[in-house]
Amino acid sequence: MKVQFQKTIVLFSLIVCCLGAFSQSNDSLPYREMPDYPDDYSVVYMASRMVDALGFRFYWATEGLREIDLAFRPTEEARSVEETINHILAMTIMLSNSVNQLNEKPEEGLTFEQKRVLVLQKLKMTSETLQKSTVEDLKIYSISQSNGENLPFWNFINGPIADCIWHCGQISSFRKLSGNPFNPKVSLLRGN
């Protein structure tokens, strides 16, 4: 009887912990709201703010997605929403690797929620690193190509950052088509 009671307590504790972690997960994720902006309009703050804007848009484009939304694609040739999220994850890791001097690769077999959390955390870490950077640091943040060519940070802006923002718009459009529209109470202009 005592062993059964202990097992029940352990199981109950695990359930409570898991439920608590699940219920807090969206509130603890970065980019539910845009971070406060600095008083300075420096180059590094502008780059950081672009990453923050991407994070905010990704947060709300992916908030509350269902399995049917993740599988949705308007045509057979188009990427599904989940395939688009995988693409955003790969570009986010590329950006984070360069700015944070890392060499990480996208993990296989992640759930949608794990991918979402990873994208948001990587963007937040990248933004924070950019805020602490100097203009000289921006000169060493580059995109390494498979052919050995290194593209400067400028290419991050018109490449992965702009591309990911574009894809957030696609996700928002696709989720509307699958019957789960973007939250109309969110203000993209005000960041809340």
CB contact at 8 A, 31 and 56: yes
**35: phi then psi, degrees, rounded to nearest 5:** -65, 160
pTM assigned to the model: 0.84
What pLDDT score was predicted for residue 48? 96
What pLDDT score was predicted for residue 38? 87
What pLDDT score was predicted for residue 67? 98
What pLDDT score was predicted for residue 173? 97
10-residue block means of pLDDT along the chain (192 residues)?
Answer: 44 37 63 92 94 98 98 96 98 94 91 98 97 93 88 93 97 97 92 90
What pLDDT score was predicted for residue 146? 84
From CA 186, how far away is CA 192, in angstroms rounded? Answer: 6
